[in-house]
Structure 1
Amino acid sequence: MKTVYQTRVNATGGRDGQVASDDGVLTLDVRVPQTMGGPAGAFTNPEQLFAAGYAACFDSALNLVARQQKLKINSTVSATVSLQMTDPTNYNLAVSLAVRIEGIDQITAQALLDKAHATCPYSKAIRNNVEVNLTLIDELLDHAHNQ
């Protein structure tokens, strides 16, 4: 196996700390989300970081499989990552990917969606361990874009 890219991010302080990449491109303060008792403010958390990475990776996989089939698409992937408590000391993640694909019919779009899920490194990494729900949608319900 050939490594084509690797990166390193260091975390200090866990959910009340900071993450920083070795190259200095990424430096973020991490806090417990306000809904879990954390402070208000412009902080990120591990779930947001995972959602961002998964959405970007999945969209890349989707566009790769479209190019392989010589299809021209425009796509947007919205990843929702949920932290679930199964008991007071046990947590799991669940992911919902809402995917909008323009430029092709719905049957072809669904086939691309399924192929992308089989191709995406994030999907492969969490397969059979994290619940992932895929939804092909006409419109993204995106809170950030509605503000």
Structure 2
Amino acid sequence: MTLRYRTEAINGDGGTGTARVTGGMEVPVASPLTSDPDPDASNPEQLLALAWSTCLNATAQALVKRERRTAVRIEVELHDASDGPGYEFHVDTYLSAEGLTLDETADLLARAHARCPVSKLLRGATTVQVHAEEFAG
């Protein structure tokens, strides 16, 4: 296996404070469960949605050779864990493609989902679903 890229993120504060990328950005973080969450801070739900939507859409764009617009919309919900203490994410991912039927979009989604590194990381998660939808622009 050839290494193509490496990064490192560090969080020393937990659900409040900051998380940072070594040699790069620093992101304020706050729990969405607090009574008054900081609107300028992020949380794991948002970061997961950003990471996967970026990766999956870049993969879809590579597959359509950038000849049409595509969009990925991801909804992440935080639930009490069904099998013990703590929490779990429930994630619904939607891909749309300009000028494709729903069946064609579903095929594109299946191919992108099979190839996207974040999708591979989440493969087999029972609380993750992917869906094709009409392109809304």
TM-score grouping bracket, smaller chain normalisation = 0.7 to 0.9
CA deviation vs aligned residue, 1:46-70 (integer Å, no higher than 9, x gap): 1111110000000011112222xxx
Correspondence 1:94-109 to 2 at 5 A? 94-109=90-105
1:130 to 1:43, Cα distance in 2 relative to 1, 3 A: farther
Determine what percentage of the aligned residue pairs are the same residue.
Answer: 25
State which of 39, 49, 58 in structure 1 corresponds to 2:36.
Answer: 39
Q: 1:103 deviation in Å?
A: 2.8
Residues 98-137 of structure 1: matches in 2 within 5 Å?
A: 98-137=94-133
Deviates more, 1:1-10 or 1:39-48: 39-48
1:93 pairs with one of 89, 97, 101: 89
- 1:49 match: 47
The answer for the alignment partner of 1:18 in structure 2 is 18
What is the RMSD computed on CA atoms of the aligned residues? 1.9
Show the counterpart of 1:28: 27
Q: Which of these residues, 72, 76, 81, is aligned with residue 67 of structure 2?
A: 72
Say whether the 8 Å CA contact 1:32–1:45 is kept in structure 2: yes
Cα distance, 1:104 vs. partner? 2.6
Task: Normalising by structure 2, report the TM-score.
Answer: 0.86
Query: Which of the pair is proportionally richer in helix?
Result: 1
Structure 2 Cα separation of the partners of residues 103 and 116 of structure 1: 17
TM-score, normalised by the number of residues in structure 1: 0.81
Amino acid at match of 2:52: Y
* Gap regions ≥5 residues in structure 1: 141-147
Structure 2: runs of 5+ lacking an equivalent: none
- After TM superposition, the runs of 4+ consecutive aligned structure 1 residues lying more than 4 A away are none
C-alpha displacement at 1:39, in angstroms? Answer: 2.8
Q: How many residues align?
A: 134
Distance 1:125 1:20, change over 3 A: same
Alpha-carbon distance in structure 1 between the residues aligned to 2:126 and 2:46 = 16
Give 2:51's aligned amino acid: G
Change in 2 beyond 3 A, CA 1:38/1:14: farther
Shift of 1:107: 2.4
Q: Is the 8 A contact 1:32 1:39 kept in 2?
A: no
